[in-house]
Amino acid sequence: MNILLSGGTGYIGSHTCTELLNAGHSVVTFDNLSNSEEKVNDAVVRITGKPFKFYLADMLDMDALRVIFEENTFDAVIHFAGLKAVGESVQLPLKYYHNNITGTLNLLSLIEEYHVKSFVFSSSATVYGDPASLPITEDFPLGTTNPYGSTKLMIEQILKDFYAANSGVSISILRYFNPVGAHESGEIGENPKGIPNNLMPYIAKVAAGQLEALNVFGDRYPTRDGTGIRDYIHVVDLAIGHLKALEKNADTTGVHIYNLGTGTGYSVLEVLRAMEAACGHTIPYKIAPPRSGDIAACYADPGKAQKELGWAAERDLKQMCEDAWRWQKKNLNL
C-alpha cells in the first residue's frame, strides 16, 4: 500500500513508519517539526534500510498539503499530527482547537477530493474521562476534562459525519492508552521538549541523573498502593496496531473504534520499580500533591481489537522499561 503519515517524525508516527516500511509498504510522511526533528527520518532509514519521502509541511497550510496529494497517490492516510500536551491545552485552548481541528478538516477535505478510501486516526483514552468502572470498553460513555481531550472527541464526531457523507470510506479510530518505550534499536524513541509531563520519560531522566527526583502525583488514590494506575503500552505494539487497522480498513467500510491497550494497569510505584530493575539502580522519588485533572485508574479492555483486528500487545512492562532506558542512555544529550 501507499500510505501517508501526518506527524510522521513524531514519537508514534516514527515507530509506525518503521513498522510499515519493514512490512513492505511504501510510505510518505509530513510534519511541521513543531514537536519533532527531521533527523528522526535518518534513524528510521538506518533501522529499516528503506528510504521514504518526507515533506516539511504544516497541516494548517492547504497549499502545502495539496502539493503532497498532487505528487503522490495514497491508498490510506494515518493521521498522527496534533498538539498533545494536556496542561498547555488548558492555557492555550484556541491554539489546540485551531491546530488539531482545522488541521484535520484540511486533511479530510483533500482525502475527499483525492478519493482516499482508508483513514486511521490517533484518538486517546482521554475521551473516556473518569470511567465509572474498569476495564474500559469502546461503548463506555464519553466526556473530557480539557481542550486537548475535547479536540479528540470532536474529531471522532467529525469522522462519523464524514463517513455518513462518504459511505465508500473506511475509518479506524484508535484510542491509545499510555504509549511508552522505544524501538529496541535505541534509534528512535520519545523526545519531549523541556521537562517531560509524562511519567515514563520523566522517570528515565531521573534514572539518567538529569532530573533530581520523580514527583509521584498523589499516594492516596483508591488503588493497591495509593498511586495512579494506567495501561502502559509499548509503542512498537501500538505501531503494529496501525498495520492491523489498515488491513481491516481494506476489507470493509464504516467507522471502527478500537482501544489499543494491554488490559493491565500498573501503578506509578510499580513503573518506578520496573525502571529501577531496567537501569540497575534505585531512582529517587518523593510524594507530591495529586495533579489536577488526573484520575485514579484507567485500563483498557482490548478484546474488540483482538477479536476484530487480530491484534494484541505482546511486550511487557519489563521490555517497555528496558527499551525506554536504552533510548535514554543513547540520547543523554537530548
Helix (H, G, I), strand (E, B) or coil at 261: coil
Comparison of 216 and 235: residue with beta carbon closer to ligand UFG: 216
Residues in 141-200 at the binding interface with ligand UFG, rule: CB under 6 A:
176-178, 197-199
Query: What's at 70, amino acid-wise?
Result: E
Supply the DSSP string of 178-215, one letter for each residue. Answer: EEE---TTSSS----SSS--SHHHHHHHHHTTSSS-EE
- Binding ligand NAD (rule: CB under 6 A), the pick from 179, 181, 228, 261 is 179
Stretch that binds ligand NAD, among 78-86, 89-97, 164-172, 247-255 (CB under 6 A): 78-86
Minimum CB separation of residue 291 from ligand UFG in Å reads: 5
Q: How far is the CB of 60 from ligand UFG (least distance, A)?
A: 21
Indicate the helix (H) or strand (E) that contains 65. helix 62-71
Nearest residue (CB) to ligand UFG, 109 versus 264: 264
Q: In whole angstroms, what is the distance from residue 284 CA to residue 203 CA?
A: 9
User: Which residue from 52, 54, 74, 80 is in contact with ligand NAD, where contact means CB under 6 A?
Assistant: 80
> For residues 166 and 169, what is the distance between their CA atoms, to the nearest angstrom?
6
Is position 124 an interface residue for ligand UFG (rule: CB under 6 A)? yes
Q: Which is catalytic among the residues 96, 148, 266, 299? A: 148
The entry of ligand NAD, ligand UFG, none that residue 294 binds, CB within 5 to 8 Å by partner kind: ligand UFG
Q: Among candidates 296, 322, 141, which has minimal Cα distance to 218?
A: 296
Q: Which of 58, 219, 247, 301 binds ligand NAD (CB under 6 A)?
A: 58
Q: Which of 60-68, 122-130, 157-165, 166-174 is the region at the interface with ligand UFG (rule: CB under 6 A)?
A: 122-130
Strand ordering across the sheet containing 266-267: 266-267, 229-230, 297-298
SS (H, E, C) 157-181: HHHHHHHHHCCCCEEEEEEECEEEC
CA 118, chain centre distance (Å): 19
Among residue numbers 195 through 234, which ones bind ligand UFG (CB under 6 A)?
A: 197-199, 202, 214-217, 228, 230
| DSSP state string for 94-106 | HHHIIIIIIHHHH
Task: Give ∠ CA 245-248-250 in degrees, rounded to 5.
Answer: 110
State the nearest-atom distance from the C-beta of 279 to ligand UFG, in Å: 17
* Interacting positions 107-126 with ligand NAD (CB under 6 A): 122, 124
**Residue 59: CA atoms inside 13 Å, Cβ hemisphere, count?**
29
For residue 77, the minimal CB distance to ligand UFG (Å) is: 21
- With beta carbons less than 8 A apart as the criterion, state whether 305 and 241 touch: yes
Residue 202 bears catalytic tag: no
Q: Least Å distance between CB 10 and ligand UFG? A: 13
**Coil/strand/helix, residue 70:** helix
Q: According to CB under 6 A, which one of 3, 4, 5, 10 is a site residue for ligand NAD?
A: 10
| Site membership for ligand UFG, residue 291 (CB under 6 A) | yes
Alpha-carbon gap, residue 317 to 274, rounded angstroms:
7
Options 19, 31, 138, 187; binder of ligand NAD; rule CB under 6 A:
31
Over the Cα atoms of the chain, what is R_g? 19
List residues with catalytic annotation: 148
Please give the residue ranges that form the binding site for ligand UFG (CB under 6 A).
84, 86, 124-126, 176-178, 197-199, 202, 214-217, 228, 230, 268, 291, 294
Please give the residue ranges that form the binding site for ligand NAD (CB under 6 A).
7, 9-13, 31-36, 58-60, 80-84, 99, 103, 122, 124, 176, 179
